[in-house]
Amino acid sequence: TQPNKKAWSLVNFDIGRPLGRGKFGNVYLAREKETKFVIALKVLFKKQIADQGIEHQVRREIEIQSHLRHPNILRMYGFFHDDARIYLILEYAPGGTLFNALKNQPNHRFDEKKSAKYIKCLVSALIYLHERNVIHRDIKPENLLLGNDDQLKIADFGWSVHEPNSQRTTLCGTMDYLSPEMVQGKPHTKNVDLWSIGVLAYELLVGSAPFHHENYDKTYQKIMRVEYVLPQYISKAAAHLIKSLLVFNPDKRMPLDQVAIHPWFTSNIK
């Protein structure tokens, strides 16, 4: 279906409370006046985008996300801009970020059933993206949102690219989710997303990232040595899946179609 090419502007929306603050702007709850349809309005400042020289990244985020249709990928309904800001019209995720949900859990972690459900949602979305040769590259709890009935949704395509790609823009924010090839700025493939699934599965089950360390260099070292400890309480199935994904050589990581049928999911999801 051809997306409706309506020209949107701020007057079409009632703006509600801020939902969260991002690096380049904030996200607000908003409602389209005529249809009363609730959305999330992500406001990006042109000046900051220009200062960081990431216009190409924002353009790509819009181009990629507005054409994707999948239950585990946050919808982008459209965008508009004024002299100072760019506005992204996004699907509202009532459950907030996975980052926030983790923080609110005792020990900041989920049980095996819930973790398996979330990872399965992520795997479905990545199969869809990889079929379209889109690599997300920035899978982490801050970029994952929760929809109705606890459906996990990938958001924030600011770092996604068409494969293959070699890193250009400097990375900022946490390094915890980066694969060895990405921290080295080497050319990387969609297998970087396989590594991130392993990191996320670990973090959901354990409550902290496998290679996390206060000190940047120590984190870098642990990633390059694939140095992490699996606590005893992790099930055999979960441990096997994590070990199959946190593999230094990108080509040796378990491929998505095998991940999708791994016993950890079949034994944990009804």
Ligand X SMILES: Clc1cnc2c(Nc3ccc(N4CCOCC4)cc3)nc(-c3cccnc3)cn12
> Which residues of this chain interact with ligand X, rule CB under 6 A?
19-20, 22, 27, 40, 42, 90, 92-94, 96-97, 145, 155
Residue nearest to ligand X (CB): 20
Smallest distance from ligand X to CB 187, Å = 30
Nearer residue to ligand X within complex by CB, 110 or 195: 110
- Closer to ligand X by Cβ: residue 94 or 263: 94
* Least Cβ distance, residue 99 to ligand X (angstroms): 7
Q: Closer to ligand X at the Cβ: 41 or 119?
A: 41
Provide the 8-state DSSP code for 12.
G
Strand segments, DSSP code E, in the chain are 13-21, 26-32, 38-45, 76-81, 85-91, 134-135, 144-146, 152-154, 161-162, 165-166, 187-188
Q: Is 138 a catalytic residue?
A: yes
Nearest distance from residue 97's CB to ligand X, in Å? 5
Nearest to 264 by CA among 163, 118, 75: 118
Q: Are 30 and 39 within 8 A, CB to CB? A: yes
Is there a cis peptide before residue 18, judged by omega within 30 degrees of 0? no
Structure tokens at 1: 């279906």
List of residues 6+ apart from 56 with CB closer than 8 A? none
Please state at what angle helix 112-131 crosses helix 191-206, rounded to 10 degrees.
170
Which of 138, 156, 176, 193 is an active site residue?
Answer: 138
Phi, psi of 103, deg, nearest 5: -60, -35
Rounded to a whole number of angstroms, the minimum distance from the CB of residue 248 to ligand X is 32
Q: How far is the CB of 94 from ligand X (least distance, A)?
A: 5
Q: Which residue's CB is nearer to ligand X, number 42 or number 137?
A: 42
Instruction: Kindly report the number of other CB atoms within 10 A of residue 38's CB atom.
Output: 14
Nearer residue to ligand X within complex by CB, 54 or 116: 54
> Catalytic residue positions?
138
